[in-house]
């Protein structure tokens, strides 16, 4: 299972809003096949592992083998046929699972199907590690909103920036880490003020991967276009506002086919002119956005904190002193760990919920 979890993690940044899933097949105490869910819409982990065993010449050994899967094998016809049926057809002898699949289309039915076919099923092995790995997926199904990570950099005296100016606070090694974080979440969110003062690109430059979707909170759609990177068409970009709505059709996915000539700008309207964050988050979840990295500025971070709409905080403490400026929020929750990156320290907090 430990190996299966390790394999599952290789899907980070390419499978959302699906969970990361790994599978290891063991016969006679040897691993004969392994695989993981690599890309959204593509083969599930079990299919990859069975294929791998067959490609290695172990087709016959599949009968009676034990499959270790980090998530309960699915029982539904989605983009692929049910994995439970595949394991049954290969006549595996036992299936060991870390987490039950909370997807209402599955939720226990996959394991029931295996048991009905006479296969021994054990569940809950390394379940805590599995739950941590797929915390975005699990929390999404539970709360119907994306997993929210608040990120900010602050000076030693607690400021985010000088008022109204782009202020470089963190060091270059931290930038690399932040770009990696951007590769790991579906969307990145900022307020209009940040777009106006920083003109950020909100993309990956120091890390290879798929750019996140950009979300700008811009109630009255007053962001000035000329020279503004969020309008450059390099990434799908949503403007949350009052009144105007033009959304992608169906479930939006950032790994979908890339258009040749620029990504569209989408508009998401928020009910009755009040920008209710919970409402906005719910809409994005239903569009297929499983996680959001909130990068500021001060007002936006404060609203997420005030409304309790956050799951993690990653606070970068820098060595500079500003003496004045936009006050950084106070981090909440439980600090889990910290790391030193050159002369900056990154503190990680999780929400107590």
| Catalytic site positions | 46
Position 145 contacts ligand AOF (CB under 6 A)? no
Distance of CA 205 to the CA centre of its chain: 19
Interatomic CA distance for residues 84 and 23, integer angstroms:
13
240 DSSP assignment: E
Among 30, 51, 79, 244, binds ligand AOF (CB under 6 A): 79
Helix, strand, coil % over all residues of the chain, rounded to 5: 30, 25, 45
Q: According to the binding rule CB under 6 A, does residue 80 interact with ligand AOF?
A: yes
Stretch of 73-81, 189-197, 244-252, 308-316 contacting ligand AOF, by CB under 6 A: 73-81
Which residue in the set 32, 43, 44, 159 belongs to the binding site for Zn ion (CB under 5 A)?
44
- 34 is in the binding site of which of Zn ion, ligand AOF, none (Cβ under 5 to 8 A by kind)? none
Q: CB-wise, 97 or 190, nearer to ligand AOF? A: 97
Q: Where are the alpha helices (DSSP H) in 148-223?
A: 172-184, 192-198
The answer to whether residue 74 forms part of the interface with Zn ion (CB under 5 A) is yes
85 interacts with ligand AOF by CB under 6 A:
no
The residue among 18 and 167 lying less far from ligand AOF, judged by its C-beta, is 18
Beta strands 326-327 and 265-269: pairing type? unpaired
Instruction: Return d(Cα 111, Cα 129) in angstroms, integer.
Output: 20
**Between vectors from CA 15 to CA 217 and to CA 128, what angle results, nearest 5°?**
95
Q: Which does residue 45 touch among Zn ion, ligand AOF, none (CB within 5 to 8 A, set by kind)?
A: ligand AOF
Whole-angstrom distance, CA of residue 36 vs CA of residue 10: 7
In Å, the largest CA–CA distance within the chain is 71
Q: According to CB under 5 A, which one of 20, 53, 83, 326 is a site residue for Zn ion?
A: 83
* Least Å from the CB of residue 21 to Zn ion: 8
Residue 74 in the binding site for ligand AOF (CB under 6 A) = yes
> End-to-end alpha-carbon separation of the chain, Å?
27
Q: Among the candidate windows 8-16, 76-84, 163-171, 286-294, which touches Zn ion by CB under 5 A?
A: 76-84
Rounded Cα gap, residues 341 and 323, in angstroms: 23
Q: What is the token pair recorded at 265? A: 């700008």
The least distance separating ligand AOF from the CB of residue 74, rounded to whole angstroms, comes to 4
Look up residue 224 and give its DSSP letter. Answer: -
Residues of the shown chain interacting with ligand AOF in the complex, contacts defined by CB under 6 A: 18-19, 21, 37, 44-46, 71, 73-74, 78-80, 83, 101, 103, 106
Residues lying near Zn ion in the complex (CB under 5 A): 44, 74, 83
């Amino acid at each position: 299972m430990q190996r299966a979890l390790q394999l599952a993690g290789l899907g980070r940044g390419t499978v959302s809003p699906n969970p990361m899933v790994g599978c290891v097949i063991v016969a006679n105490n040897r691993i004969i096949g392994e695989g993981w869910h690599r890309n959204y819409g593509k083969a599930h982990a079990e299919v990859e592992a069975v294929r791998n065993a067959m490609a290695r010449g172990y087709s016959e050994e599949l009968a009676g083998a034990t499959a270790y899967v980090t998530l309960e094998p699915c029982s539904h016809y989605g983009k692929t046929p049910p994995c439970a049926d595949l394991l049954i057809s290969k006549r595996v002898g036992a299936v060991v699972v870390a987490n039950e699949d909370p997807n209402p289309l599955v939720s226990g039915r996959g394991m029931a199907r295996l048991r009905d076919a006479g296969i021994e099923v054990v569940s809950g092995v390394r379940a805590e590690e599995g739950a941590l790995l797929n915390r975005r997926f699990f929390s999404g199904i539970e709360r119907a909103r994306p997993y929210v990570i608040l990120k900010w950099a602050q000076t030693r005296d607690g400021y985010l920036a000088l008022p109204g100016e782009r202020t470089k606070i963190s060091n270059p090694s931290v930038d690399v880490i932040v770009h990696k974080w951007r590769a790991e979440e579906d969307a990145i969110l900022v307020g209009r003020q940040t777009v106006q003062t920083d003109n950020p690109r909100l993309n990956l430059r120091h890390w290879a991967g798929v750019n996140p979707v950009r979300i700008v909170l811009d109630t009255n759609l007053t962001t000035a276009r000329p020279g503004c990177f969020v309008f450059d068409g390099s990434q799908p970009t949503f403007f949350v506002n009052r009144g105007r709505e033009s959304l992608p059709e169906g479930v939006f996915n950032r790994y979908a086919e890339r258009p040749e000539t620029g990504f569209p700008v989408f508009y998401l309207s928020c009910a009755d002119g009040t920008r209710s964050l919970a409402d906005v988050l719910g809409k994005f979840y239903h569009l297929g956005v499983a996680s959001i990295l909130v990068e500021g500025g001060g007002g936006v971070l404060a609203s997420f904190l005030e409304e309790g709409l956050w799951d993690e905080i990653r606070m970068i403490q820098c060595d500079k002193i500003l003496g004045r400026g936009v006050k950084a929020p106070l981090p909440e929750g439980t600090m889990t760990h910290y790391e030193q990156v050159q002369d900056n320290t990154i503190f990680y907090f999780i929400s107590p919920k």
